[in-house]
Structure 1
Amino acid sequence: MEQNPVLEIRNLSRTFAHGAVRAVDHIDLDVQPGEIMSILGPSGCGKTTIMRIIAGLDSPTSGEVRILGKDVAGKPPHKRNVGLVFQSLAIFPHMSVKQNVAFGLRMQGLANNLIETKVAKALELVQLSPAKFAERRPSELSGGQLQRVALARTLVTEPALVLFDEPMAALDRRLRDYMAVELRAIQKHLGIAAVYVTHDQETASMMSDRVIIMNAGKILQAGAPEEIYEAPNSRFVSDFLGDTNTLRTARVLDHANGTSLVQTDAGLAIRVANCTDIGEGAFVIFRPEQTIVHSTDPGGAFEVKVVSSQFRSGLHRWQIELPGGNKLIAQSTENRLASSGGDTAWVTIDPGKARIVSQ
């Protein structure tokens, strides 16, 4: 049986400066029960404005927000059944961990014995043992532990929807990755719907069921993280989700078996997965890991010059230069080239991985 969305956004817009600035431009979104949806985009794209409108911290110029099927227009934040986790975490420094987590429950007027039970369960859920952490002050906790306290304080009230606004931006990369895995596991265990607002592509990809890419107030593409990474619909989306090799296209040479052979302005003939015709401003794109370097010509490869090589986090990366001067990035877990620069190499593109996109 199909479930109704926890969050429904219809034709949502938010303008400022008497309509001169359109921060959110006719957005439609649904979030399903148990789903983690991340809204990604550069600063000023509208993602934080959307989150503030959902939370009741801002009002839309037009459109509708429904939570559990009910229009929440005019309702204050504490009456929307929404939990908020901010970048600042907003932990009360003068309160113990237990008091911080219990704060929302006390505002609801719950009995003390029920509060004690719920707080203990929430702390166990985020792996902060009540016996060890309940009486500690925030000043005695690490960044990761503070993150868990903020999460426990939000989850203990059992909201229908949790909104995360860059909550891990202040953490180092290693702890951020660890917390992303932990947060996803907790959210999936509880089955709570969540919206995660961030500019961090890696964290969003790790923890999300679905990713929304925004720019200038509009949704550019929505889908599973792997789907968008592998098949971006524009150069902007492709560049935003990671390193991309980009060459301007010139013309189609042939079509065969659902793919097309296109010629680029750099003179290379590359087979792409999704081309029927080439319009103005078309580009062929492919990722560094789809750019395969060879120390000898395997046949049908492009001859290139190795500009530089790097080793980073288990990956070998090479900057390579085409005869016309265009530079590409290749990446592999294998050290395919002994050269650190200046030598000749050959490149092939992983068949079917290159795509045509617009600007």
Structure 2
Amino acid sequence: MSFVPRLATDKQCTGCFACIDVCNKNAINIVEHYDGHRYVEIDKSKCVGCGMCEQICPVVSNFEYQQSEYSDFYAAWAKNRTHRKTSASGGAFYAMASSVIEQGGVVFGAKIEEPCYVHHQAIETKEELSCLQGSKYTHSNASGNYKLALKYLKEGRMVLFSGTGCQIAGLLSFLKDRTYKGNLVTVDLICGGIPSRILIDKFISQAPYKVKRVLSFRTKEIGWKPRGFRYNLKVEDENGKIYDYANKNNLITTGFSLELTNRYSCYDCPFVGKNRKSDFTIGDYWGCIKYDEEHFDGISLIIAHTDKARQFLSSLRDSLFYDKADMNLAISHNHRLVTGHSIQQYFLERKLLAFLSSQLSDSTFSKIYANTFSNKSPWILLKVIRKVYGIVVNIIDRIGHKQ
């Protein structure tokens, strides 16, 4: 074989893995690099040079994701309080997914396995829906699910596919001009980026107990609120004891929020914007100033990008309350909705992640990547240095973008 397809580089690859599903020769493998992220490699002994992976990759093919002419913003919550309370925000996803299942459809989403491995899975019953609920601040392997979604669509079934913007772009690029009888509804998330697997692995290895499973990355046991919401990671040990990290810095949730270990593609994400090719974008309605009595149970932000989405939303009136939201307010408190660029890509912590993870003690690594130190510790200088460095890099970055 002389022709070798061009796939996204490590700095471009989003980990959507649509290229794997389109390869009929199983010539593309997932490999985990020293930075704790999974990438793809071509097995040249199997590759026949058809170039389908290159055509499908939403990065290499420059797949256009900002396409809708206009989008409608809504505040929303599920009318069933039980299901709403078990959701990360207002239960919008649960209401959507329930409707699809009631119509004999299939729902795709991220499921967590013990102790903390996340992958996409298709479900067909409401009883299974709970496994797709809740936020998972780690990479979900969606390979295999694009082909499976096409199979169901060809059978004429309704399919709801949820995921990050890059995963929905991967699905839509994979489907392209393929014909099917079914109805597809795509739901992407307001994404904060994909952190390195190193954070979870080190958290588990450092824990003074044997981790059986991560129960949740965040819950609403003390309520949801539109400002100042804190993560409260919950972990169960092998004896059934629950550990709550609600007010404790830790590698998983603090590490996620610091954005120092994200995939490089997350620092310049091309799949953001208020007008997207997905049907819906959903997330928390941070900054919401209305519905005070509803804040405790959580409020979702729903953005409908297509006429199909608006029609589907109108069919949910019995199970989902929704009301027009202030677009500017929503965007101002959800900057990752429209901003894909992040200066953390220039920080030494990210550039040296692979080296530092192997050379530093667990304690020092946690201090750097999760701020696990007191305000009286000399390590507090790290926060000051980051702040100053961030300001300088931001100024240089803006000047560079203007030129």
Question: If the length of structure 1 is used for normalisation, what is the TM-score?
Answer: 0.30
Higher normalized strand content (fraction of residues): 1
Higher relative contact order (CA 8 A, sep 6+): 2
Question: If the length of structure 2 is used for normalisation, what is the TM-score?
Answer: 0.27
Larger Rg: 1
